[in-house]
């Protein structure tokens, strides 16, 4: 796992598309029991290198009922975004996650994660990628019908 995380940290596969340059943000341990898959880091996370180190992370920890120490315990939570680097700014917010990351890195990461009990899918990109045709027509519908995806997946907005 450590070698894989080092390879990810050095990834430059989409360098030409990143205004702020590559800075992959991922956190995992071979003993992780819960995997959180979100969209992509924002500018604050890009600057700090700490996953979910922003207002959305504070809200997520509140929803999960965990403190920072528990959330950042890699043996408990693996944090694997759809796009590992800040994708840049679009007209109405951040751009979508870069499409290269998930196909290149998710399978190798999950091959190392043997103790996963739950995968939390945050947002449309993660839900479409992992639920495929099982996802409902909208994010709201998918989240409202979360019970359809348990015990493996828990979709969140």
What is the per-residue pLDDT across 91-130, written as a single tens digit (0 to 9) for each?
Answer: 988 999 999 999 999 999 999 999 999 999 999 999 999 9
74 and 42 part of one domain: yes
127: number of CA atoms within 13 Å, CB side?
A: 22
132 and 111 part of one domain: no
Neighbour order of strands in the sheet with 34-37: 77-79, 34-37, 118-122, 153-156
124 and 72 part of one domain: no
Number of C-beta neighbours around residue 66 at 10 A: 16
The proportion of the chain whose per-residue pLDDT surpasses 90, expressed as a percent, equals: 97
Domain that holds residue 124: 120-156
Instruction: Give the chain's mean pLDDT.
Output: 96
Please give the pLDDT value at position 124: 96
56 and 88 part of one domain: yes
138 and 69 part of one domain: no
40 and 105 part of one domain: yes
CB distance 27 to 74 below 8 Å:
yes
Tell me the average pLDDT across 18-37.
96
What is the per-residue pLDDT across 41-55, written as a single tens digit (0 to 9) for each?
Answer: 999 999 999 999 999
Tell me the average pLDDT across 29-34.
98
Confidence of residue 23 (pLDDT cuts 50, 70, 90): very high
- Backbone φ and ψ of 37, nearest 5°: -115, 110
Domain of 5, CATH number, reads 3.40.470.10
| Pairwise CA distance, residues 91 & 100, whole Å | 22
55: left (phi over 0), alpha (psi -120 to 50) or beta: alpha
**Three-class DSSP category at 19:** coil
129 and 95 part of one domain: no
66 and 138 part of one domain: no
Confidence of residue 14 (pLDDT cuts 50, 70, 90): very high
138 and 109 part of one domain: no
Tell me the average pLDDT across 134-150.
97
Number of domains into which the chain is organized: 2
96 and 130 part of one domain: no
The proportion of the chain whose per-residue pLDDT surpasses 70, expressed as a percent, equals: 100
Tell me the average pLDDT across 4-20.
95
Please state whether beta strands 118-122 and 77-79 pair in parallel, antiparallel, or not at all (unpaired): unpaired
């Amino acid at each position: 796992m450590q070698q894989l995380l080092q390879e990810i940290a050095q990834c430059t596969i989409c360098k030409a598309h990143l205004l702020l340059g590559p800075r992959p943000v991922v956190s995992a341990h071979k003993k992780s029991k819960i995997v959180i898959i979100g969209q992509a880091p924002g500018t604050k996370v890009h600057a700090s290198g700490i996953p979910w180190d922003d207002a959305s992370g504070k809200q997520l920890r509140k929803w999960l009922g965990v403190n920072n120490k528990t959330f950042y315990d890699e043996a408990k939570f693996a944090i694997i975004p759809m796009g590992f680097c800040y994708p840049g700014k679009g007209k109405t917010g951040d751009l979508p996650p870069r499409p290269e990351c998930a196909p290149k890195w998710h399978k190798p990461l999950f091959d190392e994660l043997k103790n996963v009990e739950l995968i939390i899918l945050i947002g449309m990109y993660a839900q479409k990628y992992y639920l495929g045709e099982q996802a409902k027509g909208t994010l709201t519908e998918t989240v409202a019908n979360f019970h359809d995806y348990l015990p493996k997946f828990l979709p969140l907005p």
